[in-house]
Amino acid sequence: MSILANKDTYVVIQGGVAGVNAARRMAEFCYLIKRSLNVLAFVYPPDAGKTHEIPYGSGLVAVPIYKTVAEATKHHPQINTSLVYIGADRAMKGGMEALDDTHIKVVSMITEGVPEKDAKILGAHARKLGKVFNGPSSIGIVSAGSCRLGVIGGAFDNLVLSKLYREGSFGVITKSGGLSNEIIWICSQFADGITTAIGIGGDAYPGTDYVSYLEMFENDPQTKAVIIVGEMGGDLEERAAEWYGAKKRRVKLMAVVSGFCQESLPKGMKFGHAGAKEGLKGEGSARSKSDALKKSGAIVPATFGALGPAIKDVYQDMLKSGQVKEPVEPASLPKLPKSIEAAMKADEVVVTPLIRTTISDDRGDEPCYDGYPASELINKGYEIPHVVGLLWDKRLISKQEAEIIKRIMMLSADHGPCVSGALGTIIAACAGIGLSQSVAAGLIMIGPRFGGAVTDAGRFFKHAVDNKMTVDEFLTYMKKNHGPVPGIGHRVKSLRNPDKRVKELVGYVKSLPIKTPCLDFALQVEQVTAAKKDNLILNVDGTMAAVLVDIGFPVDSLNGFFILSRTIGLIGHWVDQKRQDSRLIRLFDYLVNYAAPKRREVPPLK
């Protein structure tokens, strides 16, 4: 047996994240005692209609979320208990809603910082209805072997260590949430464990006091002794003493009270929970409480540390008198399935990774590019081209190579609004589309006819150089298999009107002491093609391609240089249109050659 919470307790949790965490902990307990999950519903209006997936063993239980307590109990009439995790400013409303529901008999409020007035109103309302309002600031309630409400009991291994999977003989009532586990643990080490442990919360006016629970324990034959963990402030301990001393009780009462330190502290200094405050006349001090309890016949150890041995003595007496028998431990207990991470750490599973990466890792305190921490690269004078080198080609490029890349990027950042890419972005910007989509609209244009010739040009020049082709062999090969040479030819520029950017780049690269077989070959090709037709010059794509291949970048990454640098321009165009608050644009009719059939009559449908 137990009190308040048992095998027939079914729960609705009111509140958000904290409530879901509690449900997970409760599921662990249910799994340990081989009981199905006792959380049947959540009430959280913002997420009404959805479900929370609560892990149970190695599976998941979908627990529905409702808008109101009434809806939850209508769908799950076996619900009889509510746990309130709603914020302090709305907790009273939520608590009232639960108390007023005919299905619900017990409400435990976990919320901290609830105004005293609200707690009093809730407590009075519950008493009027003959229901239990536990808390606020309750850590929860746990009945060994049958039911856990809230996170009381801690992690799964603690549930097992504290033998919460089966009943003992001790009842526990604490104000402190943190100490509830401590006492449960002590009871399992010095005696046979607990029946039910209740956190009533450390507020000044908790909804339920020690006495109401002492009455319940008195009527639970399984509970042979009750331990109260009290603290200074209020008069709950005195009332418990009064109850215990009033007549012969079946249960033994044991208690400790904290707050003796107050006697030697500066006056008015207040510690601990909200309720831990002395009355103005010194009532409610630790000493007066512990004296009252002693006088009533309760066992009151001098310190918290002496509680364990005192519990042991009480338990040994019970064993001797035959009141209790040594508990029988189960042969085996369910083990909580490990998370993948924990199992991997323990070398228990092999996982086949879904993806493999060889360039970067941000699992530490900062991203590493090919193993080099980003902040170190910054502090040692490296620049953007080096990052490109690390992420695209997994190597630290030289200062010279970085300079070449920087110049390439600066030269191809933007080519005005008329080219396909910029036009695409501008049209999107004028249509009110966001930055990333508009830039993407421009980037989509990059391909075989616009800007995308870099990769192809690089591939063919490299092919020619690798195969030691002559220019004539190369041109024949291209004509036969692929058509025009990518990287050769320009719509506007020609021999007489050379492309300044190409001259710049070629000039700079040739001034460096590096080998440039591809560039040299491309320039030879240009001599032949430009002689045939004035505008078949080596264009900027071809130049970039040849140079990048010469400094060792893989052919497949070459278009990336254009995409990367042109993105700068596309962003610029989007911002530019945005700044001007440009209107939606429509193509003018006169720019269209309407070659569709003239208007005609639609024939009858056959």
Partner 1 sequence: MAKVLEGPGMGLMKKWGINVPNYVVVTSVDELTKLGQANEWLKKSKLVAKAHEALGSRFKLGLVKVDLDFKAAEAATKEMIGRQVGSITVTQVIVSEMIAHKEEYYCAVKSTREGSEILVANCGGIEVESNWERVKRLCLEIGQAPSAEALEKLSKEAGFAGPLTKKMAEFAGKMFACFDSEDAQYLEVNPVVTRASDGELVALDAVTLLDGDAKFRHPDWNFAFAAEFGRAYSKQEEEVMAVDSKIKGSVKFIEIPGGDTAMLPAGGGASVYYSDAVVARGGKLANYAEYSGDPPDWAVEVLTEKVCSLPGIKNIIVGGAIANFTDVVKTFGGIINGFRKAKAEGKLKGVKIWVRRGGPREKEGLDAMRALKDEGFDISVFDRNTPLTDIVDKALQAK
Rounded distance between C-alpha atoms, residue 343 and residue 366, angstroms: 26
Interface stretch with partner 1, choices 240-248, 258-266, 513-521, 594-602 (CB under 8 A):
258-266
Q: Give me the least distance between CB of 465 and partner 1, in Å please.
A: 57
Residue 368 bridge partners (DSSP): 361, 373
* Of the residues 46, 49, 268, 507, which one makes contact with partner 1 according to CB under 8 A: 268
Contacts of 377-386 with C-beta under 8 Å, sequence gap 24+, read 384/409, 385/409
Q: Cα 374 from chain centroid?
A: 25
Q: For residue 502, what are its two tokens?
A: 């190409």
Using the rule CB under 8 A, give the single segment among 241-249, 261-269, 424-432, 511-519 that binds partner 1.
261-269
The window from 244-252, 265-273, 483-491, 519-527 that contacts partner 1 (CB under 8 A) reads 265-273
Residue 512 engages partner 1 in binding (rule: CB under 8 A):
no
Angle at 603 between CA 601 and CA 606, to 5 degrees: 165
Residue 188 touching partner 1 (CB under 8 A): no
Gap between the Cα atoms of 79 and 64, Å rounded: 13
Beta strand pairing call for 51-56 and 59-66: antiparallel
In sequence order, which residues have a C-beta less than 8 Å from that of residue 343 and are 6 or more positions away? 349
Contact mark string toward partner 1, 147..176, x via CB under 8 A: ----xxxxx--x--x------------xxx
Site for partner 1 in 45-64 (CB under 8 A): none
Closest distance between partner 1 and the C-beta of residue 320, in Å? 24
Residue 347 binds partner 1 (CB under 8 A): no
Catalytic residue, chosen from 273, 386, 490, 573, is 273
The binder of partner 1 chosen from 45, 59, 77, 178 (CB under 8 A): 178
Give residues 417-446 in contact with partner 1 (rule: CB under 8 A): none
Residue 124 lies near partner 1 (rule: CB under 8 A): yes
284 binds partner 1 per the rule CB under 8 A: no
Please choose, out of 231-239, 382-390, 475-483, 512-520, the segment that lies near partner 1 by the rule CB under 8 A.
231-239
**266 lines the binding site for partner 1 (CB under 8 A):** yes
Bond before 136 cis per omega within 30 degrees: yes
- How many Å is the Cα radius of gyration of the chain? 39
Nearer to partner 1 among residue 75 and residue 90 (C-beta): 90
Whether residue 505 contacts residue 411, with contact meaning beta carbons closer than 8 Å, is answered with yes
Task: Say whether residue 185 binds partner 1 (CB under 8 A).
Answer: yes
Distance in Å, CB of 284 to partner 1, minimum: 12
Query: Which structure tokens are listed for 341?
Result: 């991470």
Minimal distance, residue 297 CB to partner 1, in Å: 23
Strands 194-199, 140-143: pairing kind: antiparallel
Determine if 231 is a binding residue for partner 1 (CB under 8 A): yes
Angle between helices 453-466 and 471-481 (to 10 degrees): 130
248/218 Cα distance (integer angstroms): 11
Q: Which is nearer to partner 1, 56 or 185 (CB)?
A: 185
Alpha-carbon gap, residue 213 to 221, rounded angstroms: 14
For residues 333 and 326, give the distance between their C-alpha atoms in angstroms, rounded to a whole number. Answer: 19
Cβ 282 to partner 1, closest distance in Å?
13
**HSE of 589, CA atoms in CB hemisphere, 13 A:** 1
**Binding to partner 1, residues 202-221 (CB under 8 A):** 202, 204-205, 209
Q: Scanning the structure block, which residue is given the tokens 């959280």?
A: 44
338 sits near partner 1 (criterion: CB under 8 A): no
Binder of partner 1 out of 93, 117, 533, 583 (CB under 8 A) = 117
Residues 546, 514: contact at Cβ < 8 Å?
no
Instruction: Tell which one of 2, 258, 425, 455 touches partner 1 (CB under 8 A).
Output: 258
Residue 273 annotated among the catalytic residues of the structure: yes
62 SS3 class: strand
Question: Given the DSSP bridges, would you call strands 11-14 and 39-43 parallel, antiparallel or unpaired?
Answer: parallel
Q: For residues 126 and 118, what is the distance between their CA atoms, to the nearest angstrom?
A: 12
Give min distance, CB of 288 to partner 1, in A.
15
**Min. distance of Cβ 202 from partner 1 in angstroms?**
6
- The residues that are catalytic are 273
User: Which residues in this chain contact partner 1 in the complex, by CB under 8 A?
Assistant: 21, 25, 88-89, 112-118, 120-121, 123-124, 139-140, 151-155, 158, 161, 174-182, 185-186, 202, 204-205, 209, 229, 231-232, 234-235, 256, 258-261, 263-274, 276-277, 280, 286, 302-305, 308
